[in-house]
């Protein structure tokens, strides 16, 4: 059996990203550490690689997101991908009362691609969706299941 566990994002500024995901979106910081790979490498295949890790999760302590900042060697800077570009990914967060969260997050400077849009699905519950970028350009989807 295969089951999804978490998503890891390589980031440039782990403190800024940590503040966004915990302080603004409300994920809980479950663990933080700095790790050093042995000279022969580890599962990342970067011999002697040093990186900071921040693990974030929900109120039940379930890990959802791992932020990874490579310190040595530092990660090359990439360009944010468009939402429809091959290799682009997005993280989807379920939120209650998305219209209110949209206003709150907008007031905190979060830039949305669109305001929340309601999609009526004849086969099931309607949903409300919108997209946003985190401070480094990763795409996030916010979703609310209506009724």
Structure tokens at 3: 């089951």
Name the percent of the chain lying above pLDDT 90: 65
CATH T-level topology, domain 7-72: 2,3-Dihydroxybiphenyl 1,2-Dioxygenase; domain 1 (3.10.180)
Q: What is the pLDDT of residue 126?
A: 93
Tell the residue number behind the tokens 């009362």, with chain if given. Answer: 97
Q: What is the mean pLDDT of residues 29-43?
A: 88
* Sign of CA pseudo-dihedral 78, 46, 54, 8: positive
- Which helix (H) or strand (E) segment holds residue 98: the answer is helix 98-107
Please give the CATH number for the structural domain made up of 90-146: 3.10.180.10
Per-chain mean pLDDT for the chain? 91
What does the domain layout of the chain look like in residue ranges? 7-72, 90-146
Nearest CA-CA partner of 14 in 49, 85, 65 = 65
CA dist 26 and 30 (Å) reads: 12
């Amino acid at each position: 059996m295969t089951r999804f566990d978490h998503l890891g994002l390589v980031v440039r500024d782990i403190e800024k990203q940590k503040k966004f995901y915990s302080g603004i979106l409300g994920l809980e910081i479950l663990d933080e550490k700095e790790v050093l790979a042995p000279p022969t490498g580890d599962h990342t295949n970067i011999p002697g690689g040093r990186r900071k890790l921040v693990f974030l999760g929900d109120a039940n302590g379930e890990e959802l997101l791992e932020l990874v900042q490579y310190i040595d060697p530092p990660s090359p800077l990439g360009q944010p991908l468009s939402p429809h570009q091959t290799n682009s990914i997005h993280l989807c967060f379920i939120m209650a009362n998305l219209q209110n969260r949209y206003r709150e997050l907008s007031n905190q400077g979060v830039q949305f691609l669109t305001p929340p849009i309601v999609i009526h699905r004849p086969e099931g519950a309607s949903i409300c969706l919108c997209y946003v970028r985190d401070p480094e350009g990763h795409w996030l989807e916010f979703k609310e299941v209506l009724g």
